[in-house]
Structure 1
Amino acid sequence: MQGASSDSLHALTEALASAVEGGTDASKIGDDLFGVAAVLRREPGLRRVATDVSVSPEAKADLLRGIFAEQIDPASADLVAQAAGRRWAASRDLADALEHLGVVAVVRGAEQTGKADDLENELFAFERLVSGSPELRDALSDPARSTADKRRLLNDLLDGKASSATVRLAEQAVAGTHRTVVVALESYQKVAAEHRNRLIATVRVARGLAEHDAQRLQDALARQYSRPVHLNVVVDPDVIGGVRVAIGDDVIDGTVANRLDDARRQLAG
């Protein structure tokens, strides 16, 4: 988001933090905001009025509060009203911002229960599962299947294997607001990392990292980037040995294959 939308999202994120710190159930806010975002996407007329700069902020806030107040938590209703009262660069940004806030709220809910690390690990594992299974990917993107049916499939897959926060975000991922389920899951991982002020490092190795080796790598990367780092470890049979680390656009390739390629280039030179 850019311009007015970015400013509005920042202000709403701070309002969400205040609500959660005041004792509101963050997970409930997440569910509420996902629901309101879905309604706004289904109702273009309502979305246009709620983002129309010619309508006073107070009138727009009152409109959305009147529509949703009896269906959602008071703290959620306050956030929705505040969102309607702010400026948005594009009509769709309001619903997108509410979904983003919903993801942050789910992450905060996981923090409240001490499950935030589990959430990040499980989102990555589920994204890898979907990416690696064409059948599952097709089932979750099939336009002939209802969202409810896709969510039942997800619950069957994740029942007893993932935290409630992970299941909730997986369910949101099949709502169709992102280009694909994988894109949605990647987006949610980034939101979680940004909220927790962490970088995501994708680490490719030939075999799983021992816990002490993972911690050493994590600590070294945190020192290098001056921020905490969350490791997503991928066991890749194409990695002969060593480690390949990607953080954003940065790639640190210490694999045997890369070192052999360097040696060949030096000999050829």
Structure 2
Amino acid sequence: MGSATREATAAAKAALAAQRSVDLQVAEDLFAAGRVVGRSAQLRSALNDPDADATRTRALVQGVFGGRIGATALELLGGIAVSRWSSGDDLLQGIEELGLRAAARSAGTKAVESELFEFGRIVTSNADLELALGSKLSPTPAKVALADRLLTGNASPQAAAIVRHLVEQPRGRRIGELLRGAAAIVADECGYAVATVTSAGPLTAAQLQRLERQLAGQYGRDVRFNLVIDPSLVGGLRIQIGDDVIDGSVSARLTDLRQKLAG
């Protein structure tokens, strides 16, 4: 991520935080705007033109999206557009991230991150389902309809809206990657980090409490767990927080030993 994108992302997050009230429609509007921008290289280039002044860029946003999305989303989108992004793809990612954060804001105390994780676990454990939702050959409306059937009545409206958008605009990413990334952003907006903890068997409450204290101290914020049981680990733990992976499993140590002996 370039410095321009980091600054633009920080500005977008601050603009969202300054909003008194954010409902799910704001997130839906941002997702919809992102899909429009994603389908038009010309629009993406115009919105990310470093030579355009802010007045002209905001007028472009108003001309394209005025009357199509709500006032709050339009204001936030205008702020994103007048920021400087390192690339058009970063601009598109910025719109999507702000939509995810708006969905998290609108959810209140609902555990949207956990819903996304669980849905991702179900999808990636079923090859046919993963193909149905992620194949480029499947019509997008059919994929969205399938996601809706799976989530209606089983997840919050926020989780359903996020999944619909990710299925509709994957931008070359696999569905599992999409859901993990979205879950991490939702958790960050709610003020905590998420650790996926994989163990050979169930962990006790005392073990989880100790692990939570250790990780919170290391990362400087609250940590919540998504727990996965994988007997193939034999023993120990594999912990992933964002891009950080701590693999203390017995299977990893055995693999490392075999590699050393083979070398």
Q: 1:18 maps to which residue?
A: 18
Match of 2:197 among 194, 203, 214: 203
Distance change (3 Å), C-alpha of 1:43 and 1:205? same
Q: 1:267 maps to which residue?
A: none
Q: Secondary structure at 1:230's aligned position in 2?
A: strand
Distance change (3 Å), C-alpha of 1:109 and 1:256? same
* Alignment partners' CA distance in 2, 1:224 and 1:179: 30
Gaps of 5+ in 1: 265-269
Q: 1:193 maps to which residue?
A: 187
**Contact kept? 1:65, 1:78, Cα under 8 Å:** no
Deviations 1:125-181 (A, max 9, x none): 111112111111111122232222111111222222222211111112212224211
**Contact kept? 2:114, 2:183, Cα under 8 Å:** no
Match of 2:93 among 93, 96, 107: 96
Q: 1:46 maps to which residue?
A: 43
Q: 1:251 maps to which residue?
A: 246
Distance change (3 Å), C-alpha of 1:206 and 1:250? closer
Matched residue type, 1:15: A
* Alignment partners' CA distance in 2, 1:158 and 1:203: 25
* Alignment partners' CA distance in 2, 1:262 and 1:50: 49
Larger Rg: 1
Residue 115 of structure 2 corresponds to residue 122 of structure 1: yes
Q: 1:158 maps to which residue?
A: 151
Match of 2:228 among 223, 234, 245: 234
- When normalised by structure 1's length, the TM-score is 0.85
Deviations 1:188-236 (A, max 9, x none): 1221233234333221223334555534432343234432112111011
* Alignment partners' CA distance in 2, 1:231 and 1:4: 32
**Contact kept? 1:140, 1:150, Cα under 8 Å:** yes
Q: 1:66 maps to which residue?
A: 63
Shift of 1:256: 5.9
* Alignment partners' CA distance in 2, 1:263 and 1:39: 51
Match of 1:180 among 174, 179, 195: 174
Shift of 1:97: 0.9
Cα RMSD, aligned residues only: 2.5
Q: Secondary structure at 1:171's aligned position in 2?
A: helix
The total of aligned residue pairs comes to 256
Shift of 1:99: 0.7
Percentage of matched positions with identical amino acids: 32
Q: Secondary structure at 2:233's aligned position in 1?
A: coil
- When normalised by structure 2's length, the TM-score is 0.86
Q: Secondary structure at 1:238's aligned position in 2?
A: helix
Q: Secondary structure at 2:225's aligned position in 1?
A: strand
Deviations 1:74-125 (A, max 9, x none): 1111111222222222123222211111011111112x2x10xx21111111
Matched residue type, 1:5: T
